Chains A and B, each alone.
Chain A
Amino acid sequence: MAQWTERARGEIWLRRLGFFLGLLFLIALYGWALRGVEFDLSSIFKYGGKFFELLGRMYPPDFSALPQLVRPLLQTLQMATLGTFFGALMALPLVVFGSQLVVRSALIYWPVRMIMNILRTIPDLLYAVLFVAAMGFGPAAGVGALSFFACAIIAKLTSESADNINPKPIEAVEAVGAGKLQVIRYAVLPQLIPAFIDHVIYVFELNVRVSAVMGYVGAGGMGMQLTTAMEWRNYSQVLTIALLIFALVIVIDLVANRIRDAFVQGIVLPRPLRFLGLSVVATLIVWSFISLEVDFNRLVKGFDYFRNLVWAIVTDPATEYFELAVQRMIQSLQIALVGTTISFLLSVPLGFLAARRHVGMPVAFAVGMKQIPNIIRAFPELILAIFFIATFGPGPLPGVLAIAIHSIGMLGKFNAEIVEKIRKEPVEALQSSGASRLQVFRYAVLPQVLPEFLALFIYRFEINVRAASVLGIVGAGGIGSLINEAQSYRAWDIVGICLVVIIPTVMVIDFLSARIRKKLIEG
């Protein structure tokens, strides 16, 4: 007995020590990160007013420019359509040859998976920069960039679906003596095709967002208009453009979500409707193709250019810039960390307020709160970053703020969903033993939601690392700023060294994040 208490006491001390050390580590980490991003509350308060002043100058929006904006708006949609279409086509071979279900030899599927992972590490805007460099200004570069961006995500998500497909029907088809191709045809594809279509539609949503702002670096669409309006300080037009992008994103999300829901629920459309749907999609693709006037000669030249770029990176990298690139990459990580943390702190309360169960909020209020993340999510980071740069001047702080605000969209939404998913048995157990509301929260609610919150935080950090690596392209600090400088001097070897730093960093972070999240969720 005495021995037991002794050990217990020892353990308690060890725990306290661990807690204390962890706390010290966190303080040091955030101290370091906050300094790195030049975070300074007083200047936020001092200049924060300017942000609203800026918004004030934008109001009222200038709708007289609307007719000129229709074409860029359509172009944005067309670029997203073609990008998704080509991306899906390019993803197919990657999925097939990267799957253990189809390919037996690890010699084939490992390299294919490697390519998939590398494609995934490159952030959307960086693709845009590379394609504009290779193919010149205009929508063709946008289509190229979006195709690669889409391909990477579709391939990744579909491969994950393929890994998680139900093996039982596969066994049944094997058991009747079917060959490999027949197994694929009758047990794999019926399960995989709906997932594939779901991912394609999801990526189309993403592509519309990216497509809307990508023009800022010269890749066609609405973003180009935004650049011009910003340069001319035509603020009322800036607001018009931002509102148009916002409306486009919301409409596309609504439509796409409807369709995806139908797919997930396995609703079978009657033949004529299915035919109608297919023809609408086909028309959209053909129309995009014709009106964007994609020049295939330039496409071919672009690939030549790409080859040269890769060749230059391999044979003659700008090694003298390696250290600088690493420093800026570290700043990007700091931006992502601080931005995600601020966003997290704001969206945890939002999650509880927007949850419909267990918190006791009136339903109407919760539903209202739930719209906040949806609205925020429709404002692309890039536009927020541009606004914050106009307020605080270029530097890492606008990047932090853009990420902090934009991420509330996803974090708030998912946090609310986590809270809604809480199992109510432990809550009732505590309530029935006479615990106070705070005690119920501490011992029944918090233990359930905390691991999921943290996992979500880490996942968002992973996404934000990509964002923080490119926001610098518009002036918001981090390694993107180096890319921006190099790009304006056409110093492609420096862009190359940035790629050399970004790709492995993002890969390592993806890997660690997946590991930690798995640990957190599975306990």
Chain B
Amino acid sequence: MTAPILRVHNLTVIYPGVQPVKALDNVNVEIYPGEFVVVAGVSGSGKSTLLRAINRLAENDHAQIHGEIYFDGVNVLKASRRQLREIRSRIGFIFQEYNVVERLPVLTNALVGSLGYVGLVRSLLGRFPKEQIERAHHALVRVGIPQPRHGDRAARLSGGQKQRVGIARALLQKPKLILADEPVASLDPITANVVMNIFKKINEDEGITTIVNLHDPVLTFKYGKRIIGLKHGRIIYDKPITAINRETFEEDIYGTVDREG
């Protein structure tokens, strides 16, 4: 078998405070190139923390991250600021709240994903190379935003459309790994399926490794090719879809007795 693209070893994440929260407790997991993994678990189980620890966004919340995370053979937690930026530019991150810059045009929002490939001066002046602009149009059309809308302000888009812009932004990064934190939790069921299908297609067509957090069991079962269950910050379940028992799966991951949130 090939080497894992992502290896998480003894990962423990603590949010300090008057009452420190241990959001992840000694998590170990290996993800291989081309996999489509769904991380499932109830609210508060640590799904977001896991993804945000991988590219160290969790540090914005002053989280203490212990353990080792290897992405493409490099230890993320030991990386310098510069190295970290380089690592981040190869990991596309998609947020539940889309996190688009509402005041900027749709196209520019997508182009933000190419910042890693554009020189500093050019990027500050907002003069993106023609090639990147082409790619941005292309990516936007691909996720279902037609060209006439690329000049609109992002504020004018619907939630589902904003999330597509978020995906286009990630695609512009030419990512090796996509991390999506509850990307469809704010969308209606139909739009949610459309967006999940975009992830599925990207994974199948380009072989980009994808990890998606979902709290919805139906979507989890429908799209996951491997399902990891989190509970109280620990991995309690990790199976390929072929080995999953449809009957007991919900019970196994979410439990029925002490469900929280």
Residues on A close to B: CB < 8 A? 167-169, 171-179, 181-182, 185-187, 190-191, 194, 266, 268
Contact = CB atoms under 8 A, between A and B. Distances in A.
Given A169-B99, A172-B169, A266-B155, 18 more contacts: A168-B95, A172-B95, A172-B166, A173-B101, A173-B112, A175-B93, A176-B88, A176-B173, A177-B89, A178-B85, A182-B120, A182-B124, A186-B112, A187-B101, A190-B104, A191-B101, A194-B103, A266-B153
A168 B153 contact: no
A176 B116 contact: yes
A179 B124 CA distance: 11
Given A186-B108, A186-B115, A172 B103 contact: no
Contacts of A173: 101, 112, 115
Nearest to B173: A176
A512 B155 CA distance: 38
Contacts of B41: none
Interface string B61-89: 00000000000000000000000111111
Contacts of A182: 115, 120, 123-124
Contacts of A191: 101, 103
A224 B55 CA distance: 64
Contacts of A185: 123-124, 126
B169 A176 contact: yes
A178 B57 contact: no
9 contacts: A167-B60, A168-B97, A171-B60, A172-B112, A176-B115, A176-B169, A182-B115, A186-B104, A266-B103
Interface of B: 55, 57, 60, 84-93, 95, 97, 99-104, 108, 112-113, 115-116, 120, 123-124, 126, 153, 155, 166, 169-170, 173
Contacts of A266: 103, 153, 155
Contacts of B104: 186, 190
A439 B124 CA distance: 61
A194 B155 CA distance: 14
B120 A174 contact: no
A167 B93 CA distance: 15
The 9 closest A-B pairs by CB, nearest first: A177-B89, A177-B88, A172-B99, A175-B93, A190-B103, A177-B85, A168-B99, A169-B101, A178-B115
B53 to A, nearest CB: 13
Q: Name which of A168, A171, A178, A185 has the most chain B CB atoms within 10 A of its CB.
A: A178
A328 B108 CA distance: 58
Nearest to A191: B103
Contacts of B88: 174-177
Contacts of A179: 85, 120
Contacts of B99: 168-169, 171-172
Given A172-B100, A266-B153, A178 B95 contact: no
Contacts of B92: 176
A393 B87 CA distance: 75
A193 to B, nearest CB: 8
Nearest to A192: B103
A119 to B, nearest CB: 29
A179 B88 CA distance: 11
Given A171-B57, A187-B101, A181 B115 contact: no
Nearest to B93: A175
Given A168-B95, A185-B123, A176 B101 contact: no
Nearest to B175: A176
Contacts of A168: 95, 97, 99
A169 B154 CA distance: 12
Contacts of B93: 172, 175-176
A178 B112 contact: yes
A360 to B, nearest CB: 37
B110 to A, nearest CB: 11
A124 to B, nearest CB: 33
A268 B104 CA distance: 11
A178 B101 CA distance: 14
B101 A190 contact: yes
B112 to A, nearest CB: 5
Nearest to A186: B112
Nearest to B172: A176
